[in-house]
Chains A and B, each alone.
Chain A
Amino acid sequence: MSALETSDAPQQGSIIRPYGDTTGDGMVQMSFTLPLPHDKKAEGAALQLARKMGLDPALLVHAKAMGPDFTFFVVYGSSTHLVNLDDVHVVEREYPLLTAKDANLAIKKHLRRKLVVVGACIGTDAHTVGIDAILNIKGFAGEKGLEYYREIKVVNLGAQVLVPDLVARARAEKADAVLVSQVVTQKDAHIHNTTQMSAAFREAYPSGQVPVLIAGGPRFEDGSEKALGVDRIFGRGTTPGEVASYLVHEMTQRKARKS
């Protein structure tokens, strides 16, 4: 019970354990399947796995055969692991969230023209849900999409756009920013497609003039912008307002750097 005492001490508030119904109980629940017929041995195996995952004590609350060869388990238990918040590093949003009105004003003031955004699902990906949520006027989570912004011109190329076509269209439209959406992740397709895209842009544009490259999708790793060659990654749950705010921020920064 020493862990519990430590986490109770006020100066140690940076140590965190899961919360079931009591501070410091560390309780978690999980479910998984083992490729075993349901018997005592399978249940023992499930408990052993839970213990190896750091649940102690582990409670096997449900076990059910799924056909002759598999068993499904639900396990509850107290996690022995501690998380030190001081060691947790995340990317915090470094720009202010703007309303549509403020974003329009800022674009008008700093750019003195419309900001041009070209969006597409590239590669074989046909899932336009993400890009449409950000671009379509309909929007997402109660926020209107970028099409709604008076000072943003949106060119949504839709699904399965080839990278060369995307580059050509971005040049033709004099795009300030290019948004690509990648939902399909089988065999790391999202990573291959995105790196291919960013390389193509770097090849086609003089250095320093590449549009803001943004990749969106549920499975990009936080902080992997460099590896992918893009300026920004947006993950699950991103709203159009966040993207617009980022674009305004990035465009003003770029402009400041140039002048």
Chain B
Amino acid sequence: MSRPNAMLELDPTVVRKARSLARKAAAPVVKIAKSHTTVSVERATLRLAGLAGADHERVPWVNHLVTAVRDEVGLEHGVTTPVYDALLRGEAPDLTTLAQKAASGNVSFRLPAGREAAAAQRAAAKGVGVGLRTVDRSRATRDRLVKRHGDPKTKPWIYLIVATGDIYEDIPQAQAAAREGADVIAVIRSTGQSLLDYVPEGATREGFAGTYATQENFRLMRAALDDVSKELGRYVRLTNYASGLCMPEIAALAGMERLDMMLNDSMYGILFRDINPIRTFVDQRFSRQVHARAGIIINTGEDNYLTTADAVEAAHTVTVSQLLNERFAKEAGLEDWQLGLGHAFEINPEIPDSFRMELAHAMLARQLFPDAPLKWMPPTKHMTGDVFRGYLLDGFFNLVGAMTGQGILLVGMMTEAVVTPFLSDRDLALQNVRYVMNAAGGLTEDFHPPRDGFIQTRARQVLSEAVDLLERIVGDTDSAGDAPLLAAIADGTFGLMKRPATGGKGLDGVFERAAAYDNPAITSLDAWTPPAKGGRR
């Protein structure tokens, strides 16, 4: 990948300032994340320890066990100490039996002290270590398969969505999409899964506008894509969503089942799903730590800002979100190559110079984050149902992608907002991408916006608006004395949605950690450092 030169001639002091403000905004929130835990973090920890499955009413055993511990001794000390203490006391031979007994109220939990506590924590570390080693093994397997089959020959990687609701329909569709040229398959989740406070179990065939994210669905789809990768001689990546109330658990399952990319935005759940801000930031840190270790590329959701607000007026909110996402990601151990920071082609095509502005915005993102893959998202808001016009718009979207060296290109469908894509829509969309990449892929070499011309000026303007907004965030306060970023989220700084730190879904699953809090997964993830360079680009 040829790194674009400093084509926009941005002032390096402004860029540095933007980053340091993002760091400043993030720091107090990271502190909150490190001093709290959530039901979902604890459930994810138990999943790493190998607890899977659900009762006859499909309530997962991890939910039963975490609820039982919470009710008896609280979660302030972490779930694993009382759980492994119960195992050591011989309450049950294994986690599953313990969860079953806990579900019927036949186990009593306690907080062990002294040597007993140390013994329980040692046992927990051993148990959870099994799952973490599975994550490490999955990463090694991916590296091996990428080496064997190869990465896609060209950038951007072509990202296609599958969403039938039925995993057994998704599989042939995903394989067909890969054969047609997709490098990344995203299985859209069933509408509403983000607000479920549990992860469904097993292979599922009933979803609404998407397929449930479950461990078994992950496994089935990854295996199917392994087959097709072998057939095509190109490693086809799999994407799902680590978002919503079960973000940490989904991240853990994705790490173990070798998913390759996960949608994981720092504020999406808060702003667009009304999930409690603290819950989100705590869950997010854990999930990002898992993604870092698993070698998963995250995709952030900046496109959402542009579908709810005007893409010209709100352009700088994308930059701010990218900077915050970058900061939170780096803090959690993710490396640049794992940051699929999002942005989208959503400017109203009726306004003059819309394409030039798209180009300016895309180049700004490219230049601010030169080593991040960047995820370029197609128009949705101005897709009107006129499929012919939509096809042209997608062509221009592809052209911006080609001209600005994007890492991941989500293929736009001309039937966006009309129907779930027909087979032929996908084929036409891929022809569109191939034509543009073929015809104009090399244009990065020739195209340099003139000094102080429209594009450079626009990019500088967006960056300076972003710095202004970050300054406002860092200086924000509220009567409760919350972290400035939380105060900013509460007073509607982002997308006009007001989300107070004391509101939103999932707040009752947040707990402040006690001094003696122990979570062997977090201990291990905190101590983990990425493998030395060489294996990756």
Judged by a CB distance under 8 angstroms, whether A31 is at the interface is yes
Can you list 19 pairs linking A and B with CB atoms under 8 Å apart?
A33-B423, A66-B180, A66-B423, A72-B427, A124-B190, A124-B191, A124-B192, A124-B208, A126-B273, A128-B308, A132-B308, A138-B309, A158-B497, A159-B274, A160-B195, A184-B191, A184-B209, A186-B165, A218-B417
A67 touches B180 (CB 8 A): yes
A125 touches B191 (CB 8 A): yes
As a 0/1 sequence over residues 265 to 298 of chain B, the CB contacts with chain A under 8 angstroms (1 = contact) are: 0000000111000000000000000000000000
Judged by a CB distance under 8 angstroms, whether B310 is at the interface is yes
A136 proximity list for chain B (CB < 8 A): 308, 496
A133-B497 Cα distance, complex, nearest whole Å: 14
A66-B190 Cα distance, complex, nearest whole Å: 28
- Neighbour of A189 across the interface among B176, B208, B307, B422, CB < 8 A: B208
A23-77 CB contacts (< 8 Å) to partner B: 31-33, 64, 66-67, 70, 72
A32-B428 Cα distance, complex, nearest whole Å: 12
As a 0/1 sequence over residues 175 to 210 of chain A, the CB contacts with chain B under 8 angstroms (1 = contact) are: 000000000101101000000000000000000000
As a 0/1 sequence over residues 180 to 197 of chain B, the CB contacts with chain A under 8 angstroms (1 = contact) are: 100000000011101100
Judged by a CB distance under 8 angstroms, whether B530 is at the interface is no
- Number of chain A residues whose Cβ lies closer than 8 Å to a Cβ of chain B: 27
Judged by a CB distance under 8 angstroms, whether A129 is at the interface is yes
Judged by a CB distance under 8 angstroms, whether B424 is at the interface is yes
Knowing that A132-B308, A186-B165 touch, tell me 12 more A-B residue pairs with CB under 8 angstroms. A67-B176, A70-B423, A72-B424, A72-B428, A124-B192, A126-B191, A126-B192, A126-B194, A129-B307, A159-B273, A160-B195, A160-B273
How far does the Cβ of A157 sit from chain B's closest Cβ, in whole Å?
9
How far does the Cβ of A112 sit from chain B's closest Cβ, in whole Å?
30
B273 touches A31 (CB 8 A): no
A184 touches B424 (CB 8 A): no
**CB nearest to B194 among chain A residues:** A126
- Neighbour of A184 across the interface among B208, B417, B497, CB < 8 A: B208
- Neighbour of A187 across the interface among B194, B208, B308, B309, CB < 8 A: B208
**CB nearest to B350 among chain A residues:** A142
How far does the Cβ of A143 sit from chain B's closest Cβ, in whole Å?
14
As a 0/1 sequence over residues 110 to 148 of chain A, the CB contacts with chain B under 8 angstroms (1 = contact) are: 000000000000011110110010001110000000000
Judged by a CB distance under 8 angstroms, whether B144 is at the interface is no
A184-242 CB contacts (< 8 Å) to partner B: 184, 186-187, 189, 218, 236
**CB nearest to A71 among chain B residues:** B424
B34 proximity list for chain A (CB < 8 A): none
A33 touches B424 (CB 8 A): yes
**CB nearest to B307 among chain A residues:** A129
A189 proximity list for chain B (CB < 8 A): 208
Query: Which of A123, A136, A159, A218 is the most central at the interface, judged by chain B CB atoms within 10 Å of its CB?
Result: A159
B385 touches A236 (CB 8 A): yes
A128 proximity list for chain B (CB < 8 A): 272, 308
Judged by a CB distance under 8 angstroms, whether B448 is at the interface is no
- Neighbour of A33 across the interface among B179, B309, B381, B422, CB < 8 A: B422
Instruction: State the majority secondary structure of interface residues on A.
Output: loop
A67-B228 Cα distance, complex, nearest whole Å: 14
- Neighbour of B274 across the interface among A72, A123, A158, CB < 8 A: A158
How far does the Cβ of B516 sit from chain A's closest Cβ, in whole Å?
37
How many interface contacts (CB-CB < 8 Å) are there between A and B?
A: 59
A125-B208 Cα distance, complex, nearest whole Å: 9
As a 0/1 sequence over residues 301 to 312 of chain B, the CB contacts with chain A under 8 angstroms (1 = contact) are: 000000111100
**CB nearest to A137 among chain B residues:** B496
A131-B435 Cα distance, complex, nearest whole Å: 37
**CB nearest to A69 among chain B residues:** B176
Query: Which of B385, B424, B427, B496 is the most central at the interface, judged by chain A CB atoms within 10 Å of its CB?
Result: B424
**CB nearest to B380 among chain A residues:** A129
How far does the Cβ of A46 sit from chain B's closest Cβ, in whole Å?
13
How far does the Cβ of A72 sit from chain B's closest Cβ, in whole Å?
5
A189-B180 Cα distance, complex, nearest whole Å: 32
B424 touches A129 (CB 8 A): no
A26-B145 Cα distance, complex, nearest whole Å: 56
- Neighbour of A186 across the interface among B179, B208, B309, CB < 8 A: B208
How far does the Cβ of B476 sit from chain A's closest Cβ, in whole Å?
22
| 8 closest residue pairs by CB, A with B | A124-B192, A66-B427, A124-B191, A72-B424, A33-B424, A184-B209, A186-B208, A186-B209
A64 proximity list for chain B (CB < 8 A): 427
**CB nearest to A68 among chain B residues:** B179
A158 proximity list for chain B (CB < 8 A): 274, 497
How far does the Cβ of A43 sit from chain B's closest Cβ, in whole Å?
16
Decide: A160 near B309, CB < 8 A? Known: A126-B273, A236-B385: no
B310 proximity list for chain A (CB < 8 A): 138
B309 touches A31 (CB 8 A): no
A185-B41 Cα distance, complex, nearest whole Å: 34
A222-B81 Cα distance, complex, nearest whole Å: 60
A128-B427 Cα distance, complex, nearest whole Å: 29
A160-B194 Cα distance, complex, nearest whole Å: 10
A67 proximity list for chain B (CB < 8 A): 176, 179-180
A137-B495 Cα distance, complex, nearest whole Å: 12
B410-439 CB contacts (< 8 Å) to partner A: 417, 422-424, 427-428
A7-B190 Cα distance, complex, nearest whole Å: 50
A33-B192 Cα distance, complex, nearest whole Å: 32
B423 proximity list for chain A (CB < 8 A): 33, 66, 70
B374-388 CB contacts (< 8 Å) to partner A: 381, 385
B301-329 CB contacts (< 8 Å) to partner A: 307-310
A33-B426 Cα distance, complex, nearest whole Å: 12
As a 0/1 sequence over residues 147 to 175 of chain A, the CB contacts with chain B under 8 angstroms (1 = contact) are: 00000000000111000000000000000
A137-B309 Cα distance, complex, nearest whole Å: 10
- Neighbour of B192 across the interface among A31, A137, A160, CB < 8 A: A160
A236-B418 Cα distance, complex, nearest whole Å: 10
Decide: A129 near B381, CB < 8 A? Known: A158-B274, A187-B208: yes
**CB nearest to B385 among chain A residues:** A236
A252-B180 Cα distance, complex, nearest whole Å: 58
As a 0/1 sequence over residues 146 to 187 of chain B, the CB contacts with chain A under 8 angstroms (1 = contact) are: 000000000000000000010000000000100110000000
A54-B494 Cα distance, complex, nearest whole Å: 53
Decide: A159 near B272, CB < 8 A? Known: A33-B422, A138-B309: yes
